Amino acid sequence: MNVAIIPARGGSKRIADKNIRNFLGQPIIAYSINSALESKLFDRIIVSTDSAKISEIASYYGAEVPFIRPDELADDYTATVDVISHAVKELNLDDDDLVTCIYATAPFLNHQRLISAHELFHDQYPTYCFPVVEFEFPIQRSVSLHEGRVKVKEPSKIASRSQDLIPYYHDVGQFYVGLASTWKDRVPIISNEASAFVISRKFALDIDTEEDWIMAENLYRTFHS
């Protein structure tokens, strides 16, 4: 079985009702549900939530909400692996079932990237497979600040040309593909055992603040007009 699980708790301190807020005409969670549906990969599309309101909206857009997430797994400190592990156990999935966690606030996700990730997973069988994007600036030339003074991360690289430095990437925060057993055992997502594929920065905006939200809507209009 191939299952998509979308974690979407009700509380959000920085952006009120973030997971169901209107994003250019429909609740933002609808974009994640639609991408999952359009991929035609999944036997079931599940939303894990503690909110009756989110449950109603998710069901309207075509997802299932077969259980309500307990409060202890719905606070600011709950890890994604804990939420998906709980869902896997609630759904009584077999260890070799494929489970894809899709974040509720991922309007730039499209079904083709989901398909590509599944193909890569089947080719390599890593712990997880997920999209990454290259840092905008070489991290070897980064600095930290200590009481107003600069501390260079890698002094030997500070004068190097950007094109001569190894590129580094970060997790996009859209989705993660893994076996049910891997989620159930709460294996860390980001490790040397994971696989990733690179996507364009224009599809990799993390939405955490009101400013991010405005930028995301503007960017979406630009590439979907």
pLDDT in tens, 119-178: 999 999 999 999 999 998 899 999 999 988 999 989 998 888 888 899 999 999 999 999
Cut 0.85: pTM above it: yes
Mean pLDDT of the chain: 94
Flag whether pLDDT at 14 surpasses 80: no
Q: How far apart are CA 47 and CA 56, in angstroms?
A: 10
> Hey, what long-range contacts does 185-191 have (CB within 8 A, 24 or more apart)?
185/85, 186/79, 186/81, 186/82, 186/85, 187/81, 187/127, 187/128, 188/81, 189/80, 189/81, 189/127, 189/128, 189/130, 191/127
Residue 69 has a pLDDT of: 95
pLDDT tier at 225, thresholds 50, 70, 90: low
Q: Which fold has domain 2-131+170-223?
A: Spore Coat Polysaccharide Biosynthesis Protein SpsA; Chain A (3.90.550)
pLDDT tier at 198, thresholds 50, 70, 90: very high
- Are 21 and 62 a contacting pair, CB within 8 Å? no
pLDDT tier at 195, thresholds 50, 70, 90: very high
